[in-house]
Amino acid sequence: MTFNELGLIEPIKKALREKGYTHPTPIQQQSIPILLRGKDLLGVAQTGTGKTAAFALPILQQIYMQPKRKGHRLIKALIVTPTRELAIQINDNFTAYGKFTNLRNTVIFGGVKQGAQTNELRKGVDILVATPGRLLDLMSQGYISLNDIEYFVLDEADHMLDMGFIHDIKKLLAKLPRKRQSLFFSATMPPSIVSLSQKILGDFEKVSITPKQATAERVDQGVYFVTKKNKIKLLIHLLETKDADSVLVFSRTKHGADKIVRLLGRNNIHAAAIHGNKSQNARQRALKHFKDGDIRVLVATDIAARGIDVSDLSLVVNYDLPNVSETYVHRIGRTGRAKASGVALSFCMMDERPYLRDIQKLINQKIPVISDHPFVDDGSEEPPKELQPKRTGNRPPGRKPDRRKRFRPKRKNPRNPR
Ligand code: AMP
């Protein structure tokens, strides 16, 4: 199928040609006709499937086709997404896809001063991309009215709830006009999400793109059994031997991410970290340097990396395996986007093996074990202290417990022992 068969207008098709898109992805093939018919949509899909264009193109087209009215532009479409990085990315996509439509879009998110954002709003926009907190804030200050919203997109609804935005969403829903087209996207559909979708959607159609297999099939995967101590050595070894231009490394913790960057730096590998403790500007700067190819390695935690769209991301390294299997699919979805194929390599310590089993169950696939490397964990190294089994009541052989110390009762008044 080509974009011609989807009923898109020339200004949009021209922008797609400029972007180099030749064929719509499955979610675009399925969603665009539904949305152009004006129906609500429930999209079970995650970032990396082409979902942004799936909702952005019909929104742009429908607003573009409306009779032009004079005066200040009114916000007609609102896209709410959980993270700042995703918001920026979606807004960039609207700019690219809407290049020949004369429509205006802007993005607002927290963590930075509001001046530049309110200036853009004052000029008037047709499409607004926002994170929930800053949106409610600027609404309460009177910079934004939702009275004219005709198109509402709730993006990454499951992450929205994970991040505790439910109250913000409810406040927002109360302010939206009843007559509108609503789009609801989520990668997973647990009961809480189903119930939220029912509050938002009217007469809807469902489109489901199962990313598990799709992602897992697109991406070459491998797992290295390695001890905690050797993880950094293995990472350096891979960075030195793999021909990968841009490498995204996942760390379970913020502290861990900083440490990896420091240790790589000591080995003359320039890397940057993005995580929740970094300021918004520092995160954006790191992301820009990474996207521009100035730094080869970006070390990220899951929240910070959510939805990062870097074209040509050639390698994802799971320095720590995630303990939630779905996160693995999200992470490796950062490589092998759209048609490109990617590589995802995971490090697995002995105590992470249960996570590996869960992941393999989820993706319904065995991840090949790579043992052709200098740091194979053959089980001979004593595990680090925190991983050693907890002492039970049995005392180690040859040592008597020091009862005097352990059971000496505390004196109430040290000056008067009696
Ligand atoms: P998304 O899921 O919207 O974040 O899109 C994932 C990536 O696929 C982005 O880099 C898009 O620019 C790219 N993309 C989306 N649709 C297409 C398409 N039809 N052809 C080629 N690339 C696409």
Pocket test for ligand 1, best of 4, 12, 21 (most atoms within 8 A of CB): 21
Element (H, E) at 212: helix 211-218
Residues 349, 226: contact at Cβ < 8 Å?
yes
Least confident window among 84-93, 297-306, 372-381: 372-381
Q: Are residue 237 and residue 110 in the same domain, yes or no? A: no
Dihedral, CA atoms, 395, 398, 404, 410, nearest 10 degrees? -30
Pocket test for ligand 1, best of 5, 337, 341 (most atoms within 8 A of CB): 337
Residue 345 lies in a domain: yes
Q: Are residue 107 and residue 193 in the same domain, yes or no? A: yes
Q: Is the pLDDT of residue 127 over 90?
A: yes
Angle at 82 between CA 78 and CA 88, to 5 degrees: 70
Least confident window among 7-16, 105-114, 258-267, 330-339: 330-339
The per-residue pLDDT for 97 is 98
| Ligand 1 contact via 25 beta carbon (within 6 Å) | yes
pLDDT tens sequence across 198-229:
999 999 999 988 654 456 667 889 999 999 99
Q: Is the pLDDT of residue 9 over 80?
A: yes
Instruction: List the beta bridge partners of residue 323.
Output: none
| Ligand 1 contact via 47 beta carbon (within 6 Å) | yes
Alpha carbon of 313 to ligand 1 centroid (Å): 13
pLDDT tens sequence across 323-358:
878 788 878 877 766 555 689 999 999 999 999 998
Residue 401 lies in a domain: no
Last residue of a domain, one of 333, 363, 393: 363
State how far the alpha carbon of 38 is from the alpha carbons of 11, 69, 147, 341, in Å: 20, 21, 19, 34
- Among all chains, which residue has been given the structure tokens 């240790």? 263
Q: Residue 330's closest CA among 297, 298, 310, 306? A: 306
The per-residue pLDDT for 316 is 93
Q: What is the CATH number of the domain that holds 333?
A: 3.40.50.300
Q: Considering its fold, how many domains does the chain have in total?
A: 2
Which structure tokens are listed for 130?
A: 């926002």
The per-residue pLDDT for 119 is 97
Residues 197, 173: contact at Cβ < 8 Å?
no
Q: Are residue 44 and residue 185 in the same domain, yes or no? A: yes
Residue type, 244: A
Q: Are residue 11 and residue 75 in the same domain, yes or no? A: yes
Q: Which domain holds residue 266?
A: 213-363
Q: Is the pLDDT of residue 93 over 90?
A: yes
Task: State the Cα–Cα distance between residues 412 and 408, nearest whole angstrom.
Answer: 12
Last residue of a domain, one of 153, 185, 209: 209
Q: Are residue 203 and residue 307 in the same domain, yes or no? A: no
| Ligand 1 contact via 327 beta carbon (within 6 Å) | no
The per-residue pLDDT for 311 is 60
Q: Are residue 184 and residue 297 in the same domain, yes or no? A: no
Count the residues in the chain: 418
Least confident window among 78-92, 184-198, 237-251, 369-383: 369-383
Q: Are residue 78 and residue 122 in the same domain, yes or no? A: yes
Residue 305 lies in a domain: yes
Last residue of a domain, one of 149, 176, 209: 209
Q: Is the pLDDT of residue 417 over 70?
A: no
Alpha carbon of 165 to ligand 1 centroid (Å): 27
Q: Which atom of ligand 1 is nearest to the CA of 338?
A: 8
Query: How many helices (H) does the chain have, and how many strands (E)?
Result: 17, 13
Q: Are residue 138 and residue 270 in the same domain, yes or no? A: no
Task: State the Cα–Cα distance between residues 363 and 289, nearest whole angstrom.
Answer: 33
Alpha carbon of 51 to ligand 1 centroid (Å): 7
The per-residue pLDDT for 211 is 53
More confident residue, 35 or 360: 35
Q: Is the pLDDT of residue 232 over 90?
A: yes
CB atoms under 10 Å from CB of 95, counted, come to 17
Residue 409 lies in a domain: no
Pocket test for ligand 1, best of 2, 12, 25 (most atoms within 8 A of CB): 25
| Ligand 1 contact via 194 beta carbon (within 6 Å) | no
Residue 378 lies in a domain: no
Q: Are residue 126 and residue 231 in the same domain, yes or no? A: no
Which structure tokens are listed for 272?
A: 């940057």
Residue 394 lies in a domain: no
Residue 386 lies in a domain: no
Q: Are residue 63 and residue 123 in the same domain, yes or no? A: yes
Q: What is the sign of the dihedral through the CA atoms of 304, 305, 307 and 311?
A: positive
State the chain's mean pLDDT as an integer: 86
Q: Are residue 156 and residue 232 in the same domain, yes or no? A: no
Q: Are residue 15 and residue 60 in the same domain, yes or no? A: yes
Q: In this structure, what are the phi and psi dihedrals at residue 231, rounded to the nearest 5 degrees? A: -55, -45
Could you tell me the pLDDT band of residue 362, with boundaries at 50, 70 and 90? confident
Least confident window among 104-118, 166-180, 311-325, 389-403: 389-403
Q: Which atom of ligand 1 is nearest to the CA of 3?
A: 19
Q: Is the pLDDT of residue 394 over 50?
A: no
Task: State the Cα–Cα distance between residues 355 and 353, nearest whole angstrom.
Answer: 5
